[in-house]
Structure 1
Amino acid sequence: MDFGFMWDTFLQLLSGIPLTLNLSFTSVAFGAVLAMVLALMRMSGIRALDGFARAYVFVFRGTPLLVQIFLIYYGLGQFRPTLQEWGLWVFFREPYWCAILALTLNTGAYASEIIRGGLQSVPHQQVEAAKACGMSGFLLFRRIVFPIAVRQALPAYGSEIILMVKATSLASIITMMEVTGLAAKIISQTFRAVEVFIVAGLIYLILNFAITRIIMAFEWWLSPHLRRPSTVEPRLEAAHV
């Protein structure tokens, strides 16, 4: 292996990291909003809304993301006259926005089930206790249900964020020059696929390691009841002495 070539490749692939993070975090942000809507539709008790959400999740979880990207970028291009008439061609002619749309729709389906599980895991006793204290409606959701649901769903949602970072590599098939797109370009010029893909994989590994640390720190911040024993017990021991 030529480590000098791999170092040069690493420096070249660094320029694709901003686009990779942009695609992943933008799609995760939009997908979180979509996921919350879908989760609330599933839990609404209204048959039409529940059926639509179930069908949406089934379709987007049951089909490959690669196929979804192809259908949005290449498939909708066949309806260019109609899209131009509706003023949507400005959006769908750009590979960036097609990638964002595909990633958002995909992660929204997965994240909706994660959020729904988090909301349903909130202990009923705590909700009843909050109602007894006079909380109701949005205040109950904001102060009790949502914080608990976030803590419950965060580990699984963190995994979904990591999966989306890796899923951005599929955007290279529609000419997006993120890390994988740049790697494919270097391979076409040098025909040294092994070294290039090792370096690209190392970059994704570093990114996901950093994201994992951030998620763990956020989970620690959201769980003060888990931190309290480690700070209180030494004080109690000192008091007994």
Structure 2
Amino acid sequence: MNFLQNPSSLEKYILEQNLYYISDKDNLIILVDRDTHYLGYYYLIKEDNNFNFSIDKNIVFEYSYNTLRYDSSIEDILNKMNFKELNNRTSLSLDLNNIDRNFDFEKIDNSFLDEIYNCILENFNPYYGCIKRKDELLKSIENNEIFPHIDYNELVGFIEFSKKRNIFTIDHFCVFNKYKNMGYGSKILSSFIEYSSCENIKKIDLFVLDNNISAINVYKKMNFKETKIKSKIFMKEV
């Protein structure tokens, strides 16, 4: 992040990305404003400085790391600022063989926005992963980054995902409560894998909570493999 060396460039970038920052002496924290908390985007902390700050919502930082290169000093700095470890996540990945054919899934419009937003809130801890604001989720719908499963003329479940180069990342995978334990989870994931293969995607990535054994088992049945990437989530309460 070379723009940090240029304060005017940093301020311009922050405004464009709708970010917030707190600074004190040589310390800096950049935050993304979420409905329920601030999500840590970047920080630069001098270990020998006491960085005391007050803010109106909880702050969540996620430290992703390769298990072969874990840096305990990052955790030490967060602990000094009274961040507490909240939970741990494991990365899983699926390498794909591309299929040369079309896959047209049933795209949805913004009339499903509230339904999708509420399902994510009901099924995910707001401090785990990146739960988007409604305006951000609306963009996901408009960009066809919601993969839905419709049955009985109703939205049964969906996968919210993002694309970077030739990789899909699953951000949230939801089945509505009244359709759980009916086999829809495997159906939706299998269809999404097929769609990804048709889109020349090379890999599907995701993070899952370490204690969510049922979800991990579903992914592994679909040949997802654990990677060496883990994450720790820390929170500072107001």
TM-score range, shorter chain: under 0.3
The structure with the largest alpha-carbon Rg is: 1
Using structure 1 for the length normalisation, give the TM-score: 0.22
More helix by share: 1
- Structure in which a larger fraction of residues adopt strand: 2
TM value normalised by structure 2:
0.22
